[in-house]
Amino acid sequence: MGRRGRGRGPKAGASSRVALSASVLAAAIAIAAAVGCGTSHPRALAAATLVEAQTFPYFPVYWVGRSFDGQPLDAVDGRRSYLTSVGESVYYGDCLHGKGIFGGGSCRLPLQVTTVIWHLHNNAGLGAQYNTLIRGVPAAVYDAGRSIELYSGQVAIDVFSDTAQRAMAAALLLEPVNAPAPTSGKLPAPVYCPELVGAIDAKLEGVLLHLPGHICQRSREAQELKKKL
């Protein structure tokens, strides 16, 4: 196998049109074969590959189990392929995908979950979005609901799906593959203040104000001080 959320003259006679159609069809078949978006089921995931994800040492890597909505777990990243800039991903479905934080693939996977160490950034680049609470933590929903970024612990968890319904269903099932699952159903609160864009309702604001170390108040005070300098 090769995440946030995140994979053409003049009018001719009948024989020429038939030849052109045949060429287009052949090209389409070749492209479909190349990108791996056929109807065949994905091969079984090697046990050693899953173990590599289960023993990943740097931070919790989130998944939704061995299958999701009828689609088996098809691939996982591990320590050997780890890149700090794109994090660790798990993939469900049979589309060929490329490693990346904003999802990969020539066709949209039923689900990709990418976990990455959070770094300070503004969410404006995500486009149209709204902020909410999911599993007790702040989250940004974008891409018409098909992509969700949740903020938890020291990481951001990016859910990329082909439908908004699947994306939200996956967000409600998230748990670490390499650590104990949260017993309360809630994800750990982020230890940073996410740079949310857009409206923040009272409930979300209350959570932000009670993050560990009052990090959001401190961040806002630092921003105000910077403006005055």
Q: What mean pLDDT value characterizes the chain?
A: 80
Q: Which residue has the higher pLDDT, 2 or 75?
A: 75
pLDDT digits (tens, 9 = 90+) for 211-225: 999 999 998 888 888
> Confidence class of residue 45 from pLDDT cuts 50, 70 and 90?
confident
CA distance linking residue 173 with residue 48, whole number of Å: 24
* Segment 99-140, tens digit of pLDDT: 554 444 445 689 999 999 999 888 998 999 999 999 999 999
Yes or no: say if 172 and 192 are a contact pair by the CB < 8 Å rule: no
Residues 113 and 141: beta-carbon distance below 8 Å: no
Q: How far apart are CA 113 and CA 89, in angstroms?
A: 5
Q: Does residue 11 surpass a pLDDT of 80? A: no
Distance spanning both ends of the chain, measured CA to CA: 51
Helical axes 202-209 vs 215-228, angle rounded to 10°: 90
Concatenating the DSSP letter of every residue in 213-225 gives GGHHHHHHHHHHH
The reported pTM is: 0.76
Q: Which residues contact 206 (CB under 8 A, 6 or more apart)?
A: none
- Nearest-angstrom CA–CA distance, 64 and 139: 17
Condensed to tens digits (0 to 9), the pLDDT of residues 160-193 reads 999 999 999 999 999 999 999 888 899 999 999 9
| Tokens coding 118 | 């959070």
160 within 8 A of 183, measured Cβ to Cβ:
no
Q: How confident is the model at residue 41 (pLDDT cuts 50, 70, 90)?
A: low
As beta bridge partners, residue 50 has none
**Cβ contact 121:192 at 8 Å:** no
